[in-house]
Amino acid sequence: MEIQALLVMGDSLQKTFLGVMTLGLSCIAIELVPVARQATYWNRCLTSTVAWINEKQDFNTWSQKAKESLAVGVCNGAVYEPKLKTQ
């Protein structure tokens, strides 16, 4: 009888731990949704800004890294005092 009680108690604890782990992982997944959405928006901004810069004739002499640097600044909203390296 005691062994059966221990087995039932162990099984109960195992189910409890599994439930707590599932709940924890669900909470983490829910918290990551806004971060993933923001990353998607930012990546879309970067892609479209680089494409726009590549269309402009004024930036033809700039390297690709310089163009991407400008696009990162634009997407971050921090183009208040740009000091860009164009080579």
For residue 43, count other CB atoms closer than 10 A to its CB: 11
* Cβ(59)–Cβ(53) below 8 Å: yes
Range of the structural domain that residue 47 is part of: 2-76
pLDDT at position 56 is: 86
Greatest Cα pair distance in the chain: 85
The total number of structural domains that make up the chain = 1
Report how far apart, in Å, the C-alpha atoms of 10 and of each of 4, 27, 36 are.
10, 26, 38
Residue 82 lies in a domain: no
Residue 51 lies in a domain: yes
Identity at 65, one-letter amino acid code: K
pTM of the model: 0.62
DSSP letter at 63 equals -
Residue-wise pLDDT tens digits, 13-35: 788 889 999 999 999 999 999 99
Task: In the chain, count H helices and then E strands.
Answer: 2, 0
In the predicted model, residues of the chain with pLDDT beneath 70 are 1-10, 79-87
Residue 86 lies in a domain: no
